[in-house]
A and B are shown apart, each in its own frame.
Chain A
Amino acid sequence: MELPRDDASLTRSDLVARSALAGGALAAGGLLSGGLSKPALSQPSAAQDERVLEWLLQVEYLQADLYTETERRGALTGELRELANVTGEQEREHIAALERALGTAARSKRPSFDFGDTTTDPQKFLAAAVEVEELSLAAFNGQVPNLTDRRILLVMGIASVEARHVGWVRDLAKLNPAPQPADAPATQAETRAAIKDTGFTA
């Protein structure tokens, strides 16, 4: 299940728009992230929509499992507990929505994760939540331009909530919730590497 990595199908105006934004970043004193210059764009199709949604489902499994296990173990208190409960429920709804969109095309195998004491240690949980929400948001942002118009609203509707989770969890962690004017998208390969870096994959 590989998603597009090259820009072969980009039109010239697309390339120009992308370089303009990269140029705008320079003009803005480097405020915009350099990641903007490399979205993995390719010609959208129904078949590609399926591959993208299957991939994003994998990302959702990681998030949902982190929060669901945290909720089940019940060791966190206060707003961290509320965060795990609210975001956990929303990530499970994202899974349901993606599976509904895929219908009979859904064939993702649910991976298993080993969170260790991350789901019971408040500091470890908070750090993991920041990391997982950020990588998920970048994964969703990276795929929107690959989708047909039919699926853009679903994926952006979820990405928007991932961004809200990021803002919330970063504020709780006393990190700047929005340190850049533009969020960098991530390719599938970049997200895979980021997931591996969490150390949660079996």
Chain B
Amino acid sequence: MDELTGGTRADFLRKAVIGGSATAAALAAPALARGRNTAKDIAILRFDLGLEYLQAAMYSEAERLRRLQPRTLEWARVVGANERGHVKAIRGLLGRDAIKSPKFNFRGVTENDAVFTETAVAFEDLTAALLKTQATQVDSRGILAALVSLHSVEARHAAWIRHIAGIVPAADAIDEPTSKARVVRLVRSTNFVTSTPRTKGRREPRYTG
């Protein structure tokens, strides 16, 4: 998540080291918890986990505050549950390599229907686009299959929030991929990420990118 807050690489390496909070995920993925993912796949999944934490937190807060229009609120309720499901699934894939959630401040966005909707459209469109790029990058075909099954749910979310907003749900015949850098820029521009977890490391991080 440092990439999302602009921390230095040294900061990233210090913060990326994992604590012992992944017990539930380790139960779900005992073999992966012993570290069978490649370094590249871990980096990709960690980035996705950070994004899912962000989306899950934003939509969950909107659901809790209940300040949005009824259709948007229903979207936040359903999609928030899905994003929390994605967090659990990706934590399961990462096992002990999972990162903790950063802290967020949504700066009123979860209480403003127009701004919430605009932000949600951007997040969902870009997440679906990013997952396409990552699908060509992961080493494991099993992780590829997992990303594919999450990818189309993000596209469903995107179409749904666009429909609510009165924007055409499917603007192009073929959706294009996007780069991680573009997603990082979007997230930084929101200033939603206020701090990343400072977990004391137990071992050397495997992520070196």
Most buried by B among A13, A24, A26, A168: A24
Known: A153-B132, A160-B151. A17 touches B143 (CB 8 A): yes
The answer to whether A182 touches B153 (Cβ under 8 A) is yes
Select which of B24, B30, B78, B148 is within 8 A of A144 by beta carbon.
B148
In the complex, which residues of chain B have a beta carbon less than 8 angstroms from the beta carbon of A76? Answer: none
A134 to B116, CA, bound (A): 28
Select which of A93, A145, A171 is within 8 A of B163 by beta carbon.
A171
Select which of A25, A156, A178 is within 8 A of B157 by beta carbon.
A178
Return A78 CB to nearest CB of chain B, in Å.
14
Q: Give the size of the chain A interface in residues (CB under 8 angstroms).
A: 64
The answer to whether B160 touches A171 (Cβ under 8 A) is yes
Q: Enumerate 27 A-B pairs (CB-CB under 8 Å) in ascending A order.
A: A13-B36, A17-B143, A17-B145, A20-B95, A21-B146, A23-B27, A24-B25, A27-B88, A86-B170, A94-B173, A137-B152, A144-B148, A145-B145, A153-B132, A157-B175, A160-B175, A161-B173, A162-B152, A163-B156, A164-B156, A165-B159, A167-B160, A171-B160, A171-B164, A177-B160, A178-B153, A181-B83
A16 to B84, CA, bound (A): 22
10 shortest A-B CB distances, which residue pairs?
Answer: A17-B142, A181-B85, A24-B92, A167-B159, A163-B155, A93-B173, A20-B29, A164-B159, A160-B175, A14-B142
In the complex, which residues of chain A have a beta carbon less than 8 angstroms from the beta carbon of B149? Answer: 21, 32-33, 36, 141, 182-185
A-side interface mostly: helix
Q: Give the size of the chain B interface in residues (CB under 8 angstroms).
A: 59
Q: Which of B13-21, B133-141, B185-193 contacts A (4 or more CB under 8 A)?
A: B133-141
Considering only residues 175-199 of chain A, those with a C-beta below 8 Å from chain B are 176-185
Most buried by A among B83, B88, B155: B155
Known: A145-B144, A178-B78. A16 touches B36 (CB 8 A): yes
Select which of B92, B156, B174 is within 8 A of A167 by beta carbon.
B156
Known: A23-B92, A167-B160, A178-B78. A93 touches B146 (CB 8 A): no
